[in-house]
Structure 1
Amino acid sequence: MSQNLVSLTITDEHVATVEAALAQIEGVFTHLISLSEEDRRSLTRMGQKSEAFCRQTLSVLEQNPNVVPPSIDLAAARQDMAALERLRPLLDRIERLAERGADTEAALGSDIMVTALEGYALLKAIGGSQGLDSLRRELSARFAKKRVKEVGEVPA
């Protein structure tokens, strides 16, 4: 049974337009950072529950500047909160687009694989009468199973 989950053509113009748009986005977001895996693991995280705590604490500190020592940069924390509020919706859109891209990639691969499997089954069924046995044997390497060594067998 044939499958065609998605059918699309991506032209050179499409690729050029997307690459230009990505370059523009990257140019705007030059201040985005990359963390090492170790740095990522060691971060103190602000989850959804913690966000309310953070907002409330910043608000209390702003209302009571006399308790805030100079070592706490409240203005920088407020600036970070404002940046986070503006960045999140953009990242949400990018994430949704990336998910759609990954789903489309998976669907294209699946369409191709289903067609190839149907074609291979056809070659197995009627390929011999068409002089295609040697080509079918080459294709069968995809399905070759590795022999499991028996206990006590000495490698060659």
Structure 2
Amino acid sequence: MSQNLVSLELSNEQLAQAEQAVTALEQALAGLVSLSIGERRRLTKMGQKSEVFCRQTLRVLAQNPQIVPPGLELAEAQADLLALDQLAPLLDRVQRLAERGRDTEMALGADVMDAALEGYALLKVSGRQQGLDGLRKELSSRWARSRSAEPEPAEA
């Protein structure tokens, strides 16, 4: 019996609507940046534990402007914190949607794979009688183990 984790039919209209929504999201958030792997590694990150520290420090600095040198750019840090607060709920929703999309993709693939495995088992059992043995052998390449290439003998 085949599994059916998900049944999903998307109309051309739904796909076009989703495509337009993603395009609109990309345009609305055109200021987002991409960091290289090296940049990600080098950055001092603000995690959950340090967020309270950062917020309190910026608040104390704002309350005591006499100790803030001009090079610190406190206003820019405050603007960054505001943008972070505005962006976080939206990114949470986008992440949840992406996770559901990946889970749905996995479930659809698992359903297809399950049905294909059942079908292949049927070909193994009754395919020869139906003249499908050649096709079954072709499909069996999925299960073939690759042998490591043997070194060619050295020429003398």
TM over 0.5: yes
Q: Which amino acid aligns with 1:43?
A: L
Deviations 1:98-154 (A, max 9, x none): 0000000000000000000000000000011111101101001101112357xxx65
Q: Which residue of 2 aligns with 1:21?
A: 21
Q: Which residue of 2 aligns with 1:145?
A: 145
Deviations 1:54-78 (A, max 9, x none): 0111111011110001101111111
Runs of 4+ aligned residues of structure 1 deviating over 4 Å after TM superposition are none
Q: Normalized against structure 1, the TM-score is what?
A: 0.93
Q: Which residue of 2 aligns with 1:100?
A: 100
Q: Which residue of 2 aligns with 1:75?
A: 75
Q: Which residue of 2 aligns with 1:128?
A: 128
- Hey, what's the Cα distance between the residues in 2 that align with 1:147 and 1:60? 66
Displacement, 1:155? 3.6
Percent identity between matched residues is: 59
- Hey, what's the Cα distance between the residues in 1 that align with 2:58 and 2:151? 69
- Hey, what's the Cα distance between the residues in 2 that align with 1:28 and 1:105? 26
Q: Which runs of 5+ in 1 are unaligned?
A: none
Q: Which residue of 1 aligns with 2:116?
A: 116
Q: Which runs of 5+ in 2 are unaligned?
A: none
Q: Which residue of 2 aligns with 1:8?
A: 8
Q: Which amino acid aligns with 2:129?
A: S
Matched residue SS, 2:70: coil
Deviations 1:13-45 (A, max 9, x none): 111101111111111111111111111111110
Please report the RMSD computed on the Cα atoms of aligned residues, expressed in angstroms: 1.3
- Hey, what's the Cα distance between the residues in 1 that align with 2:147 and 2:85? 56
Give the stretch that moved more between structures: 32-41 or 119-128.
32-41
Aligned residues: 153
Q: Which amino acid aligns with 2:67?
A: V
